[in-house]
Amino acid sequence: MKIALVRQRVGWGLGGAENYAASCARELARQGHEVTVIADYCNLPGVRFLRAPVLGRGSVAKNLSFFLMVRRLLEREKFDLVYTCARTGPSDFLRVSDPLHAVWIKLGYRYGNPRLRALRLRHRTILWLEKKSLQEVRRAVIANSNLVKGQLQEAYGLDSGRVKVLYNGVDFRRFNLGLRRRRRELRKEYRIVGKKALLFVGSDWWRKGLDLALKIVPKLAHDSLLLVAGGRARRARKNVRYLGNVRDVERLYAAADALVLPTRYDPFANVVLEALACGLPVVTSRFNGAAEVVRQGETGFVVENTPESLLRAVSGLLASPPSSETCHRSVAHLTWENHVKGLLSLL
């Protein structure tokens, strides 16, 4: 089957949605499909790449130009299936990969009136593209969590049967229990021997709730340390180390004691799957779609994104951590092979 997969940037090391698109394209190709990636940038070898250039400066020009360039390519090329992971169309399936803007415009800003904010040209453009892409879906909209499915129904009035929930997959060749055999060595390398090491992974610090994680570290009873992977590297301060962008984050999953992600909104944070696959328990907020794969009290905790709730959960987890095998087994079925099988079963 000739399949087009659309995303503005596709490849590993570019972000969660970009990693998803790369993994999905690779697995589709492995299963024998003729895959074409339509993107502005792609670092994925072994698949056909059609460039839809992003033009101009600023969010409005970039989003609109990509939308129009993709449209032009889809009119020119013929595919059996168009799978878009961006605000583009028309498509057979649209996966809501980014935070739903109709929701984020209300949750994602510290200050200002959401109604007035929605009048700005940038937000009006993204909201129009979001609505237009949903209207042009021929078969189904794919949500990566029940959280997002509910938000799609509430914000855009989509019928329940038109929205399918399909959890992300995880690359078990990379994220597994193997590195835990080197845990003692890795903890020496990261200078966390004798400490309880919390791990925060993400570059959008405010949306991901880093400020909330920073508030609880001094209050923990244990000799605790927060490792921040992603975003800008900064000078270390008491109980916090800023590591900058980390390419081999799986080594941190093996060395740390818990992943802490009190996000204000995440459709499905892939780092939750990666951590659990590596045997690392997770504390995250109920505003994270990936919270749906955390077994409450068994592989971690799902909390309100407040310092008080976060502190209680992290303290309890550090005092009585689950086994790494329990964490790994809880997501062992979420392979990329099963994900693509689920996707193709919707045809």
Contact 339, 168 (CB under 8 A): yes
Pairing verdict, β 224-229 and 240-244: parallel
Between the alpha carbon of residue 14 and those of residues 7, 20, 41, 182, 220, the distances in Å are 12, 10, 10, 27, 33
**194-246 confidence digits (pLDDT tens):** 899 999 999 888 889 999 999 999 998 778 999 999 887 777 778 899 998 88
Residues 6+ apart with CB under 8 A from 231: 202, 203, 204, 205, 242, 244, 245
Look-up of token digits 């309890």: 316
Look-up of token digits 């971690």: 300
What is the percentage of the chain residues whose pLDDT exceeds 90? 63
**265-318 confidence digits (pLDDT tens):** 888 999 999 999 999 999 999 999 999 999 999 999 999 989 999 999 999 999
Identify the pLDDT of residue 46. 84
β-sheet with 196-201: strand ranges across: 240-244, 224-229, 196-201, 258-261, 282-285, 300-303
pLDDT classification of 340: cutoffs 50, 70, 90: confident
Contact 195, 347 (CB under 8 A): no
CA–CA–CA angle 289, 294, 295 (5° rounding)? 140
- What is the value of pTM for the model shown? 0.86
Identify the pLDDT of residue 132. 95
Task: Compute the radius of gyration of the chain from its Cα atoms.
Answer: 20
**242-271 confidence digits (pLDDT tens):** 998 888 999 999 999 999 999 998 889 999
CA atoms within 13 A on the CB side of 104: 18
Look-up of token digits 């329990």: 326
Identify the pLDDT of residue 313. 95
**98-144 confidence digits (pLDDT tens):** 888 888 787 756 666 666 777 788 888 999 999 999 999 999 999 99
Query: What one-character-per-residue DSSP string does 70-85 give?
Result: HHHHHHHS--SEEEES
**46-104 confidence digits (pLDDT tens):** 889 999 999 988 888 999 999 999 999 999 999 999 999 999 989 999 999 888 888 87
- Bond into 321 cis (ω within 30): no
Higher pLDDT, 204 or 326: 326
CA distance 64 to 60: 6
- The sign of the torsion formed by the CA atoms of 83, 167, 306, 241 equals negative
CA distance 280 to 256: 7
Helix H or strand E encompassing 91? strand 91-95
CA distance 168 to 156: 23
**153-190 confidence digits (pLDDT tens):** 999 999 888 999 999 999 999 999 999 889 999 999 99
Residue-range domains of the chain with CATH? 2-170+334-344 (3.40.50.2000), 178-330 (3.40.50.2000)
Task: Report residue 227 as tokens.
Answer: 């490792």
N- to C-terminal Cα distance for the chain? 12
Cα–Cα nearest to 68, from 93, 87, 85: 87
Helices (H), the chain: 16-30, 58-76, 101-107, 114-117, 121-135, 146-156, 183-189, 205-208, 210-216, 249-255, 270-277, 307-319, 324-330, 336-344
Cα–Cα nearest to 324, from 263, 255, 261: 255
Identify the pLDDT of residue 110. 62
Task: Report residue 42 as tokens.
Answer: 């792609």
